[in-house]
Structure formats: structure tokens, C-alpha cells
A = this chain, B = another copy of it.
Amino acid sequence: MKNAISPSRMENFSEWYQQVISQSELAENSGVRGCMVIRPWGYGIWEQIQRELDKKFKDTGHTNAYFPLLIPLSFLQKEAEHVNGFAKECAVVTHHRLEQSSEGKLTPAGELEEPLIIRPTSETVIGASFSRWVQSYRDLPLLINQWANVLRWEMRPRIFLRTSEFLWQEGHTAHASCEEALAETLLMLDIYERFAVDHLAIPVIKGEKCSWERFPGAVSTYTIEAMMQDGKALQAGTSHFLGQNFAEAADIRFVNREGVKELAWTTSWGVSTRLIGAMIMTHGDDNGLVIPPLVAPTQIIIIPIVRSEQNAEAIHAYCEILKKNISRKKLKGQNLRVTIDKRDMSSSEKKWYHIKRGVPIRVEIGIKELEQNTVSYSHRDNINNTLTVETTRFIKDASKTLQTIQTGMLERAQKRLSDNIETVTTLTNFKKAFNRQGKPNTFVMAPFIDDITIEQAISELGVTVRCIPLVQPKTAVPCLFTGQPTKCWALYAKSY
């Protein structure tokens, strides 16, 4: 049978990715360079992601706030490494109005005294508020999160993965001690891991970034790394321990219990709409998107199959009752999300429309189902297997079925990950692992020492250090590139 998406993943993974996004109506490129439009289906997934993460943040004591989009250059300049890290990709606002010439051409006017940049991230502008809010140890910890758009000018944009503008959340916290800030950094990393695994069905490897992959200005950066179906790595979320660097830059000081003024310790952490890209490349197949049930805007789509106008009303009424009864059921505390596709369109068109969009369960209700009081349905991850069961049974099992689909997706992704990690102890094998013609890429665990000369050596192979995993092998092996003794192993991979 012909697949809905061409090319297939095997033929051209990158083009397949674009086609899935376009045909599932997740998002599209806009007329604005590097900026995407997130269409309702894509935004619906983002809303599910937001809802769950927001709950996890609030359950751990964080509250939301909102800070300015525009940052004065003077703020950005306060942390030297930070400004160097972002200067090359800042959108700069220089004027505050437009003038129309006599020929009707618009030109910028009203030049600003100090240019403003659109936030690429908000440490500096949030730091300015924190320095006002934090006076005493009683004001700590200060646990803030912001849902916002940010902008980093991208030379080679790629929808959901690297767009100039993207949506994200950025957590920013201040603490009275180093230990507490470090614990917060790791707690948020754990929350990201749990969310990726439990909700997106994406297994991840937690670890610390090496020095040259750190967030500009951070003392240490932690990451969750996921494996896409082409064997490349995707950084899916990061959590930064900022030490006292940003507190010093923004003057965040507090009077401690002994009455002495101290610098605070800060963290920041974020995930973005990139998670949708990770979801597509982890679960999609040659028929389009496959959405994990827990984040699907519609979990069950009901398609009425009306071949004669005579039965139309009865079939539609049957669908409505079915929808109502399923919607009452819950999964992880949320009512099931069910939709009836009533559009004026052939049922075959509808079927493929929802397959490409990755709806977890597709129900078809025709005259036979009506007469026999049954439901015919397929799971998105096995579209050719249509099952028919009694309606009451289907309703009763709906939540469980969705959970089973969710678990199955995670297990397949976990197997793919564990099947495709190699441990390598020689340079020859390292090179071989990244040069297998016609086969998917792999993740490689190899010894590591934090020496910038390694970056040069591996970048020639198109490889990056993804992280130093928190879970480490016990043995010690010399560095493959420098021969120096090492104390840890790193995860190496080609990456997005």
C-alpha cells in the first residue's frame, strides 16, 4: 500500500519531516524570514505541553510572571560571556515609528537613544527585577517562571527545531545557598525528564554539558538529550546552574539570618516548541504524525460514514451519544478529548486527514455499527488493523486503550535508543561508528576530558559532545583524541 507521506523516512528524513508538518497542518513558514506560523493543530499540542508543565512547575512552588520583550543593550552587557554568546543573533530595535514619504514609501523614524534588543532569553531583564525583589533571606527562594516568545536570529532556520522566533518557558530562580540552587537546577532537569518520558513518550539521557556547550554565563548546564529516528540527537531541554555570575551582574543581594549582605545564587531552565519537533521525529511514520495520547489535542476522532441520506440523522445522533459518553471518561485527571468530524467531505478523505494528523484512535460509525451497537476503530500506530467491539466495552476501555498506546510508543522509542548506543574505546571504532553508509546514526559513549581540542577533532566528523551523562560507566579509559587520562564518559552524536 502507498504511504501518505512522500518521501519516506528512509528516502529522505529531512524532507519527510517538512512534509509531515505541512500535511498534518501543524505549522508553516511565514512571509517573515525564520519565523513560523503555529497552526491550530500544532498550537493545540503546545497547549497540552503547557498545561502539564505549568502544573508541574506550580506543584513545585513556582509562580508565573511576565517581563519585558525588549532589553536595553546596557542590561545585556552586564554579563560578558552572556552578551558574547547572544550578540550574533539579536534582533535590534533602533526606531519607534514609521514615516511615509511623498511616494508612499515607509521608512523608520524616531531613532532611539539606546537601541533595544528583542529578548533572546531573559536572565538580564529578570535579574533587574530580582535585585529589587530580593532584600532579605525571607524573600528566598524566589521561584519564577515565564511563558513567552523569544527571538534568536537564525541563519539556517528549520521549523520547530531552529526558528528565529519560538515559544518557550523560562524558569528563573534565586536562592540563599549554592547547594539549594544546584538542587533546584537538578530538580527542574528531573521534571523535564519525567515530562518527556511520561507525556511525550520520548526517552532521554540526562547529563551535564561540557564547557564549550554551556549556556553563556552559566557555571554548569544540564541537558536532556533525545534520539530521533535517524539516530541524530536533539537537545530537548536545559537547566542551568548560574552560580553567582548573574547575581553579581544584576546586583541580587540579600541580608542573611546573621544580618550580613550576601550575593544570591541563581538558576534558569527552559523548554520550547522544539519539543514538538522532537515528538514528530521520535514517533512519526510514513503516514504522517503519530501523537502520544497524553498530548493529543484530539485523542479519539469519530468519523460518521453516511452512504445514504436515509440513515444520516440516526448515525449522527449515535456519534453524538458516543462522544458524550467517552468525554466523561478520564485519563490522568483530564477528560478524554473526542471530536466528531462532521465536515462535508468523503469519509476516505477524512480518514487520511486524521491519520496524517496523528490522532491516536480513529472511530468509524456507519449503518452496521449503528444496527449492531458496535464501534469500529483503529489505533494510529497500527492503521490497517480495524477492530469492532460493543459500544459499552469501547467506552469502558477507552482510557485504558489510550494509556496502552502511550506505553507502547514509549517502549518502542526506548528500544530504539538502547539498540543504538555503542560504547567505544578506540579512535578507529569511534570514526567507524559515525561513518556507516546507508545506516542510521548511532549515539556513542566514549571516554571524555573537558579539553577544547576535542571539539575540533570531532567536529570534522560532524559530531558533537551531547553531554556527560549523570549515570556513568565504572571503568576509566584514556581520551581517544588526546591520550590524556579521563575521569568520565561522554555521549557523542550527530545532532540537530
Tell me the minimal C-beta distance from A293 to chain B in angstroms.
19
Could you tell me the distance between the alpha carbons of A405 and B228 in the complex, rounded to whole angstroms? 54
Q: Mark A39-83, 1 if CB is under 8 A from B, else 0.
A: 110111011000000000000000111111111110111000001
Tell me the minimal C-beta distance from A107 to chain B in angstroms.
8
Q: Does A265 contact B (CB under 8 A)?
A: no
Query: By the criterion CB–CB under 8 Å, are A43 and B31 in contact?
Result: no
Q: Does A100 contact B (CB under 8 A)?
A: yes
Could you tell me the distance between the alpha carbons of A66 and B45 in the complex, rounded to whole angstroms? 12
Could you tell me the distance between the alpha carbons of A117 and B165 in the complex, rounded to whole angstroms? 14
Query: By the criterion CB–CB under 8 Å, are A66 and B43 in contact?
Result: yes
Residues of chain B with a CB closer than 8 A to A63's CB: 40, 43-44
Query: By the criterion CB–CB under 8 Å, are B94 and A138 in contact?
Result: no
Query: By the criterion CB–CB under 8 Å, are B96 and A91 in contact?
Result: yes
With A30-B67, A31-B75, A66-B167 known as contacts, the answer to whether A115 contacts B108 (CB < 8 A) is: yes
Tell me the minimal C-beta distance from A154 to chain B in angstroms.
10
A36 closest partner in B (C-beta): B68
Residues of chain B with a CB closer than 8 A to A67's CB: 30, 37-38
Q: Does A335 contact B (CB under 8 A)?
A: no
Residues of chain B with a CB closer than 8 A to A97's CB: 87-90, 92, 153
Q: Does A99 contact B (CB under 8 A)?
A: yes
Query: By the criterion CB–CB under 8 Å, are A40 and B144 in contact?
Result: yes
Query: By the criterion CB–CB under 8 Å, are B70 and A165 in contact?
Result: yes
Binds B, one of A124-132, A207-215, A283-291, A426-434: A124-132
8 A Cβ contacts from A157-185 to B: 165, 167
Residues of chain B with a CB closer than 8 A to A132's CB: 28
Tell me the minimal C-beta distance from A64 to chain B in angstroms.
5
Tell me the minimal C-beta distance from A13 to chain B in angstroms.
26
Query: By the criterion CB–CB under 8 Å, are B32 and A73 in contact?
Result: no
Tell me the minimal C-beta distance from A450 to chain B in angstroms.
27
Query: By the criterion CB–CB under 8 Å, are B90 and A92 in contact?
Result: no
Could you tell me the distance between the alpha carbons of A343 and B84 in the complex, rounded to whole angstroms? 40
Query: By the criterion CB–CB under 8 Å, are A68 and B153 in contact?
Result: no
Query: By the criterion CB–CB under 8 Å, are A138 and B99 in contact?
Result: no
Please pick, from B43, B65, B94, the residue contacting A108 in the complex, using a CB distance under 8 A: B94
With A30-B128, A138-B344 known as contacts, the answer to whether A77 contacts B106 (CB < 8 A) is: yes
Q: Which of A36, A65, A148, A165 has the most CB of B within 10 A?
A: A65
Q: Does A95 contact B (CB under 8 A)?
A: yes
Please pick, from B31, B73, B118, the residue contacting A118 in the complex, using a CB distance under 8 A: B118
Query: By the criterion CB–CB under 8 Å, are B96 and A153 in contact?
Result: yes
Please pick, from B66, B77, B93, B110, the residue contacting A38 in the complex, using a CB distance under 8 A: B66
Q: Mark A427-463, 1 if CB is under 8 A from B, else 0.
A: 0000000000000000000000000000000000000
Q: Does A331 contact B (CB under 8 A)?
A: no
Please pick, from B44, B69, B104, B115, the residue contacting A165 in the complex, using a CB distance under 8 A: B69
Query: By the criterion CB–CB under 8 Å, are A73 and B88 in contact?
Result: no
Could you tell me the distance between the alpha carbons of A46 and B40 in the complex, rounded to whole angstroms? 22
Tell me the minimal C-beta distance from A87 to chain B in angstroms.
4
Query: By the criterion CB–CB under 8 Å, are B106 and A87 in contact?
Result: yes
Query: By the criterion CB–CB under 8 Å, are A68 and B28 in contact?
Result: no
Could you tell me the distance between the alpha carbons of A106 and B84 in the complex, rounded to whole angstroms? 10
Q: Mark A222-245, 1 if CB is under 8 A from B, else 0.
A: 000000000000000000000000
Q: Would you give 21 A-B contacts (Cβ < 8 Å), ordered by A? A: A30-B128, A32-B70, A32-B71, A32-B72, A35-B68, A38-B67, A43-B64, A46-B66, A70-B165, A77-B106, A83-B106, A84-B100, A87-B106, A89-B96, A90-B96, A92-B97, A92-B98, A93-B93, A94-B94, A94-B108, A96-B153
Known: A37-B68, A91-B116, A92-B98. 13 other contacts (CB 8 A): A30-B128, A31-B75, A38-B66, A38-B67, A40-B64, A83-B100, A89-B96, A91-B96, A92-B96, A92-B97, A94-B108, A108-B115, A110-B153
